[in-house]
Chains A and B, each alone.
Chain A
Amino acid sequence: MERFILKYFNLIRTIIAFLIGAFICVLIIFIYSKDPSNGLRYFFLGPFSSIGRLGNVIEMASPIILCGLAIAIPFQAEQFNIGAEGALFISAAVATGFGVSTNFPKFIHIPLMLLVAGGVGAFWGFIPGILKAKWKASELVITLMMNYVALYLSLYIINFHFRDKKAGFLVSYQLPKTAWFDQFIKNTRIHYGVLLTIVFIILVYILLYKTKLGYEIRMTGFNINFAKYGGINTFKIILITQIIGGFIAGIAGISEVMGIHRRFNWQGTPGYGWDGVVVAIIGRNHPILIAFASIFIAYLRVSGQVLNLLTDIPAEIVTVLESIIILLITAEAFLTQWKYRITVREAEKREVKIESAS
């Protein structure tokens, strides 16, 4: 048992964090709701109540996964990046502009859209990357600032160049059908962008764990001075992680536009970049764990929507739950005392065994 705990300590810690968060939320529901049993049922099982809602979980998880990957790659090299939000926004705006003003057959148009979005995102990642690599400018503050530059620049692009004036509010023209990701499961909005997301999970996994570059990225994150003395070009690593991150964030935005809205209809940044930070933390920067974490977060969000619709409990309880989980997971010292005690006990046991054997 003890050895099992030690082996899966991180997973157990995550689960305990979730249980504490869930306990607090259940408590709130019981205190507040007039019909707590119904509330609890929807809170935990809401997304299973129809195929459409289950589809919502998947389609919502997709951009969160991509943003999580976009953030995890710089995180793996110990580079902060909270700029996925901005990269996603500006890429989607530029690529939408490109999409509505060009005309190609589908099999050319879609890859071109993705390339434009990815390229803009990569450029957006290049700026904090080069400033950090060259002069150690805080990538955290720079990416934060660039989120706002991206916000206003995108709104300008859409508002003054590609705005559909027939619509009552600020949206772009609709993309031509050749630039759509088709939805392929009935009663849901699951689109081909979701499949693309799966491809990216695999690609990022291979990049991080099966290539030399990935090894260098992880070494840089592990100990940048050690990596430097070991002959790794950390300048290149810092730059390249931000560029790849920006590229993937760009894909995240345009994939959502092409698959679901079919036009740029955001008035403010949609928050997927922050969600990306969240899932990168919960998934400890591992692509496959990030996918699970994103599905989990999307599941909670859909639960929130169901709660909103069918009970007297506001959806924001889910945000509270999320924030408690993240707080507990980021707290490195949370439960380490416990782990320490188990480790000591385990070591003592082994010593006794060795002594009695001899």
Chain B
Amino acid sequence: MSPLLKSILSPSFGFAILRVMTPILFAAIGVAITALSGAINISMEGTMLIAAFFGVIVSAFTQNLLLSFIAGVLAGIGLACILAYFHLKLKADIILAAIALNMFSSGITIFLLYIFAKDKGTSSSLKSLVFPSIQIPIIKDIPILGQIFSGHNILTYLALISVIIFYIITFKTPLGLRIRAVGQNPDAASSVGVNVNKIRFYALVLSGIFGALGGLYLSMGYVSWFARDMTAGRGFIAIAASNLGAHLPFGVFLASLLFGILNTIAIYLASLQIPSEFIQMIPYIATVITLTIYSIQAARKRKER
């Protein structure tokens, strides 16, 4: 059996997929929520980065996991609030404002990293905590399944649960109904008394929370330190995943899973000195193709009307 096939068929491959998928899934849910409210949120990169940073810093100085969790989430919400203020109140284009916030997050985290850790690369000189890994009672004893699904970071399980939370928010709560209404037809929503700006604000804050969780996982789960620009484009991958999954809970989950699988294969290929570039390209090309297909369908519908 070829070494590649051998490693792909091993349970550790499945384990790695879930690991790689976690931050993408969180961020993709965040992007999807704002997409349902009718906006493209490309600030996930910055949201994740700033949450990853503040999580590590607070954990290094307080040695308290709960506080660092709160700090990371608050940082994510804070960035979302700035975006909301500029977009909703000061009428800035959300794309351009988000680009500015991505730059801001990248700059400010490196700046503060240098101040706190005297290093512009990583925070490894600071002693910060990681979120615990969990063994799932019965599943962990099942041979292959246990090796794949048990022993993950608690945030990985939270990411999987978040898909369900996202489903419940979107389809089972009044807020979700309003978010979708505002996204599909803001004028109609506003004519029946929905405060469009308020709903969009809530959607942005929710996306900030999910993005922040993704960021926290990066610096306090995936690895145990903060590194400059450590999101490495995952915020943009999340936009792809959200679009690929039509911004719906199950679709977003499947798309993130696909990104997880392909990225993991790419990591394995790179270690075997085989060109991994084409594997890494697949999800982006898939996104372009699916987006095109959606658009063609939408164009047909417009014509029929």
Contacts and interface: CB of A to CB of B under 8 A. Distances in A.
Interface string A55-88: 0000000000000000000000000101000000
Interface in A299-358: 314, 316-320, 322-324, 326-327, 330-334
Interface stretch (B102-110, B130-138, B185-193): B102-110
A117 interface: no
Interface in A184-230: none
A232 interface: no
Given A138-B291, A141-B243, A317 B100 contact: no
A47 B236 CA distance: 34
Interface in B269-290: 275, 277-278, 280-281, 284-285, 287-288
B239 A141 contact: yes
B38 to A, nearest CB: 13
B292 interface: yes
A334 B90 contact: yes
A145 interface: yes
Contacts of A146: 284, 288
B89 A333 contact: yes
A142 interface: yes
Contact of A319 (B106, B243, B278): B106
B96 A149 contact: no
Contacts of A322: 103, 107
B140 interface: no
B224 to A, nearest CB: 23
Contacts of A141: 40, 239-240, 243, 287, 291
Most A-side CB within 10 Å, residue of B103, B236, B239, B240: B103
A320 B104 contact: yes
A327 B98 CA distance: 9
A327 B114 contact: no
B296 interface: yes
Contacts of A127: 288
Interface stretch (A153-161, A171-179, A250-258): A153-161
Given A314-B114, A320-B111, A324-B104, A332 B92 contact: yes
Given A319-B107, A327-B86, A327-B100, A332 B91 contact: yes
Contacts of B292: 131, 135, 137
B236 A331 contact: no
B115 interface: yes
7 contacts: A149-B284, A314-B110, A320-B107, A320-B111, A326-B99, A327-B86, A331-B97
Interface of B: 40, 42, 82, 86, 89-93, 95-97, 99-101, 103-104, 106-108, 110-111, 114-115, 120, 233, 236-237, 239-240, 243, 275, 277-278, 280-281, 284-285, 287-288, 291-292, 294-296, 298-299
Given A148-B281, A327-B101, 7 more contacts: A136-B298, A141-B239, A146-B284, A156-B275, A324-B104, A326-B99, A327-B100
